[in-house]
Chain A
């Protein structure tokens, strides 16, 4: 231990990683969940499993023609990630105590109904559900379910782990 104090602190192994706060985790989970599952949605669109691609959220706005191309989809995927942070916080606020995976599944299904029935008029290229292809409906519902489980189960699990830790500390003290 002849090193000077400054040197010592610069070593990679001596940097401390602070545990992430729960809110930070919720935020990242929301963003990653939005980006990941909408990317899969784009892949599904590429293989014609669904008529809808992520860029449908850009359609209501008057933007250049780029919004219909690849660039539009990439930007839309990023935007869905941002919106998804909000979705994650809504789950965190109301349902974080739900332990079962089913909470996430229902959350996903509820989101699907909100987007495809309630918000339907916003999206000019989204037909009423009764006129959508069967494949589109199946693919989107499944994506929403998996997305809901991803968000819901992650947040519930993290909340449980936090409870566990605080309980452990309480018993240790």
Chain B
């Protein structure tokens, strides 16, 4: 820590401390910072606090104990020791310099400074405003735990520790952000996770130079994976402690960022984004069925529209039995334009639904689905099939478990449709080839993005195709380079 070498020690005179803090953090200017002055054993004692971040009840109890000293003790020479004893709280630590004290004060701890002493105490009476753990909206299951991560990193580590009581589970904490000083926790299991990956993640996190991480884990992700304008999600987020714990046991490294209710799972491949906790809450057979149907939906969200566009432009490509596909009547607007309009329409709806209050969004859905769709056909703007295929593709994207992936797929789908409209068959084939090569080339923290499909790993690929029973999946995925391959002890 370079900050401590040129830091200012605590002055013995309380007035100097007070003046320094008034200047540095604006006590008296900012209303949420305050001092409580009491006299104990004929010595001034100052208690600095940050309202709103500390629990008043604890503070009152501590004050009571400190003031009571005057009734019971006589030895003024040992004031400091006596006060330390009377701080009835498990998290009391000494502090030597004012910069450290300021950091603690602004995180919600209280600082206790005593006249004539060059060191003070910090007591952790933090109580952050926040919500209780509740089921995350984006990862609901029919059965299973209903708790979810919240915006408080301490609660999040606790929720994880509740599931893994292993003595080898590690939560390393670092602070990032010159001004925000956000806590970031790196979680891994020491004898399972790849030490190289842990080192890499730590190094990348320490190199982050930014004033604040206001967007939480998303900001961290952008520093970590350096994705540029690649729309595909290179890390997986989860708000479910059970999903996070599963990945810890598989040898993944998790990154938790304070103030965000989701944790980052690294390393990630595309196939992490197409799985869902629900599959693991059902029978292996049912889980496999659900997964295949979901794969179908994701493939439809990608390739259905470009294929259909191609068949409309060149109906001769269709096998005879499939000749019914394609618009029956004359179209007023080129099909590709219709597709873009319809797809953007759904995008309007999706965006509007995010920030529309629930009662209004029901009405909005009705207007959009019934009125706009039907009338657009009636006035001859759309052919009915466009509505059908765009809707199926859109539902396919909603069936994608990862929200980020569904949007990336949407972009890919529109680009492919455009390539088809411009170049017909070669557009589709070359477009798809380039698309696949692009995904193959993508790497997230040195992990190939399409693993275990390309590069092919037979055993791991079977784990993707078939949801194995918990007793049957005995090895950890090799892509995380686990130190310990077997899930069960030997």
Interface string of B305-327 (1 = CB under 8 A from A): 00100000000111100000000
- Tell me if B129 counts as interface (CB < 8 A to partner A): no
Contact between B456 and A32 (Cβ–Cβ < 8 Å)? yes
> Is B286 part of the binding interface, using a Cβ–Cβ cutoff of 8 Å?
no
**B433: contacting residue among A134, A145, A150, CB under 8 A:** A145
Judge if B375 is at the interface, Cβ distance under 8 Å.
no
Question: Could you list 11 A-B pairs, sorted by A, with CB under 8 Å?
Answer: A47-B307, A48-B316, A49-B317, A134-B426, A135-B425, A138-B425, A146-B433, A154-B457, A156-B455, A158-B457, A164-B481
Is B441 part of the binding interface, using a Cβ–Cβ cutoff of 8 Å? yes
Whether A154 lies near B426 (C-beta < 8 A) is: no
How far apart sit A16 and B319, CA to CA, in the bound complex (Å)? 49
Q: List the B residue with the shortest CB-CB distance to A48.
A: B317
Q: Which of A12-41 contact B (CB under 8 A)?
A: 12-17, 19-20, 25, 28-29, 32-33
B451 to chain A, nearest CB (A): 8
What's the Cα separation between A128 and B486 when bound, in Å? 54
Known A-B contacts A15-B474, A16-B486; the reply to A138 vs B430 at CB < 8 A is yes
Give B475-490 as 1s and 0s: 1 = Cβ < 8 Å from A's Cβ atoms. 1001001000110100
Q: Which residues 403-435 of B sit at the A interface, judged by CB distance below 8 A?
A: 425-426, 428-430, 432-433
CB neighbours of B432 from chain A (8 A): 142
Would you call B316 and A154 a contact (CB within 8 A)?
A: no
Known: A32-B458, A47-B317. A149 touches B440 (CB 8 A): yes
A-contact 0/1 string along B434-445, CB 8 Å cutoff: 001100110000
A45 to chain B, nearest CB (A): 10
**In the complex, per-residue mask of A130-160: 1 if CB is within 8 Å of any chain B CB, else 0:** 0000110011001001100110011011100
> B456–A33 contact, CB under 8 A?
yes
Residue B472 at the A interface, CB < 8 A? yes
Task: Across the interface, name the chain A residue whose C-beta is closest to B481.
Answer: A164
Chain A residues whose CB sits within 8 angstroms of the CB of B486 once the complex forms: 16
Contact yes or no, B458 A149, CB < 8 A: no
Interface residues on B, range: 20 to 34
Q: How would residues 40 to 57 of chain A score, 1 for a CB under 8 Å from any chain B CB and 0 otherwise?
A: 000010111100000000
Give the distance in Å from the alpha carbon of A156 to the alpha carbon of B437 in the complex.
16
Question: B287 to chain A: closest CB distance in Å?
Answer: 17
CB distance from B308 to the nearest CB of A (A): 12
Q: Contact: A142 with B433, CB < 8 Å? A: yes
B376 at the A interface (CB under 8 A): no
Are the C-beta atoms of A20 and B456 separated by less than 8 Å? no
A28→B460 CA distance, assembly (Å): 13
Given A44-B429, A105-B437, 15 extra CB contacts under 8 A:
A25-B458, A29-B456, A33-B456, A47-B317, A48-B316, A48-B317, A101-B440, A135-B426, A146-B433, A153-B440, A153-B455, A154-B456, A156-B455, A157-B451, A158-B455
A17 contacts B316, CB within 8 Å?
Answer: no
**Which residues on the B side are within 8 Å of A15 (C-beta)?**
474
Distance in angstroms between the alpha carbons of A19 and B458 in the assembled complex: 11
Q: Tell me whether A139 and B429 are in contact (CB under 8 A).
A: yes
User: Contact between A154 and B454 (Cβ–Cβ < 8 Å)?
Assistant: yes
Q: How far is the CA of A142 from the CA of B434 in the complex (A)?
A: 9
Which residues of chain A have a CB within 8 Å of any CB of chain B?
11-17, 19-20, 25, 28-29, 32-33, 44, 46-49, 101, 105, 134-135, 138-139, 142, 145-146, 149-150, 153-154, 156-158, 161, 164
State whether the Cβ of B448 lies closer than 8 Å to any Cβ in chain A: yes
- B471 lies within 8 A of chain A by Cβ: yes
Residue among B316, B426, B454 with most chain A CB within 10 A: B454
Q: Is the CB of A157 within 8 A of B472?
A: no
- With the chains together, A32 CA to B485 CA distance in Å? 25
Contact A149 B430 (CB under 8 A): no
Question: Inside 8 A of A32's CB, which chain B residues have their CB?
Answer: 456, 458
Task: Tell me if B145 is interfacial: C-beta within 8 Å of chain A.
Answer: no
Chain B nearest CB: distance from A168 CB in Å?
8
Query: A47 contacts which chain B residues (CB < 8 A)?
Result: 307, 317-319
Q: Is the CB of A17 within 8 A of B475?
A: yes
Please, which residue of chain A has its CB at the minimum distance from the CB of B432?
Answer: A142
CA distance A134 to B433 in the complex (A): 16
Cβ contacts under 8 Å, A25 to chain B: 457-458
Q: Which residues of B contact A145 (CB under 8 A)?
A: 433, 437
Counting chain A CB atoms within 10 Å of each CB, which of B317, B429, B486, B488 scores highest? B429
- Confirm or deny: B459 has a beta carbon within 8 angstroms of a beta carbon on chain A: yes
Collect the chain A residues with CB atoms within 8 Å of residue B472's CB: 12-13
Complex: A28 Cα to B459 Cα, angstroms: 10
> Nearest 10 pairs between A and B by C-beta?
A157-B455, A154-B456, A154-B455, A142-B433, A13-B471, A138-B426, A135-B425, A28-B458, A48-B317, A12-B471
How far, in angstroms, from A44 to B415 measured CA to CA in the complex?
20
Q: Please, which residue of chain A has its CB at the minimum distance from the CB of B314?
A: A48
Docked CA distance A123–B441 (Å): 35
Measured CB to CB, the closest approach of chain A to B249, in angstroms, equals 14
Closest chain A residue to B474, Cβ basis: A17
Beyond A12-B471, A29-B458, whether A149 also contacts B429 by CB under 8 A is no
Q: In the complex, which of the residues B319, B430, B433, B485 has the most CB atoms of chain A within 10 Å of its own CB atom?
A: B433
CB closest residue in chain A, given B486: A16
A150:B454 contact, CB within 8 angstroms: yes
Q: Are B485 and A19 in contact (CB under 8 A)?
A: yes
Nearest CB on B from A172, distance (A):
10
- Residues in A with CB closer than 8 Å to B458 are 20, 25, 28-29, 32
Give Cα A78 to B459, complex, Å: 21
Distance in Å from the Cβ of A167 to the closest Cβ of chain B? Answer: 11
**Closest residue to A139 on the B side, CB-wise?**
B429
* Chain B residue with the shortest CB-CB distance to A164: B481
A36 to chain B, nearest CB (A): 9
Q: Interface digits, B287-315 against A, CB 8 Å rule (1 contact, 0 not)?
A: 00000000000000000000100000000
- Complex alpha-carbon distance, A164 and B480, angstroms: 13
